[in-house]
Amino acid sequence: MVLKQLKQWFTVRANAARWRAFADWADQRKGSFRMARDGAGFVVELSQGLPGQVRIEWGPSQRSYIEGHELRMRCEMRLSHELQMMVIERELMERLEREVFEAYTDTLKTRIDTDTPEEMRWLVMFPKLPQIESKLLRERFGVLGINRELCASWLEPALADKLVQASQDLVPAGRPFVLMGLRGNAYLRTAMAEPDLDQVQVLCRLLEAAARALQSANQRLGEGGVWPTTTSVAWHSRPPEGENPTPV
């Protein structure tokens, strides 16, 4: 027990120095930084200059389709829960589609399990956006959601440009990446073996662009310009992962 505690203490001390740049960044942004109790990850919370409070977590992956460690982000906005949309890296989308098909064509499976992450359920439930103006964006990502018109409204030029830029080096082909409008908030999740401040900052700006575009889509929804189908009421989202005070 004592040896285990000493090992954990040294791990926490070592990572505190290793992640000092993140703590300084959070402090500059008038935010907060704290490590997980076991020292295996950290949480950054920001609110200044953003459309909502942003929570950034780095730690062991909470999704089976991401091996090792991941970066999770959430911008809390409390918009309409009808804003259910997703941008997903194309190779990941195709892989998850195969897994969903194989899992749920089994004769013992008659419905999508509610424990299945939204990322996988939505691939079966929601239509894809067929017309994406940018060829590069179309080749590198899939876009889908409860309503094609709502997806098109969300994928405004500022967000589309940020995604194209990210696809050049930050989100190379084959790197798991998901950007979602879910439960009235904006979410981002991607594989990240080691936390990199420059990458996190760029992804934070991408999340911000997605959140602002989500606000615009929410306003249009409220004005009655676009309405989701009734499909949404047949599926209830489970509580979000990553809501714990420290990464799991």
Give the domain ranges of the chain: 2-234
pLDDT value at residue 240:
42
Q: Mean pLDDT over residues 117-133, rounded? A: 90
Q: Between residues 110 and 70, which one has the greater pLDDT?
A: 70
Percent of the chain with pLDDT over 70: 79
Residues in the chain: 248
DSSP letters spanning 200-248: HHHHHHHHHHHHHHHHHHHHHHHTTS----GGGGG--PPPPTT-SSS--
Q: What is the mean pLDDT of the chain?
A: 84
pLDDT tens digits, one per residue of 191-239 = 999 999 999 999 999 999 999 999 999 988 877 655 565 344 333 444 4
- pLDDT tens digits for 149-187? 999 999 999 999 999 999 999 999 999 999 999 999 999
**In Å, how far are 28, 77, 154 from 218, measured between CA atoms?**
31, 11, 9
Residues 6+ apart with CB under 8 A from 84: 118, 122, 126, 145, 146, 181, 182, 228, 232
Q: Is the pLDDT of residue 63 over 80?
A: yes
Question: What is the per-residue pLDDT for 108?
Answer: 54
pTM reported for the whole predicted model = 0.84
Of all residues in the chain, what percent carry a pLDDT higher than 90? 62
Q: What digits encode the pLDDT tens for the residues 36-61?
A: 877 789 999 998 778 999 999 999 99
Q: Which residue has the tokens 């090792």?
A: 68
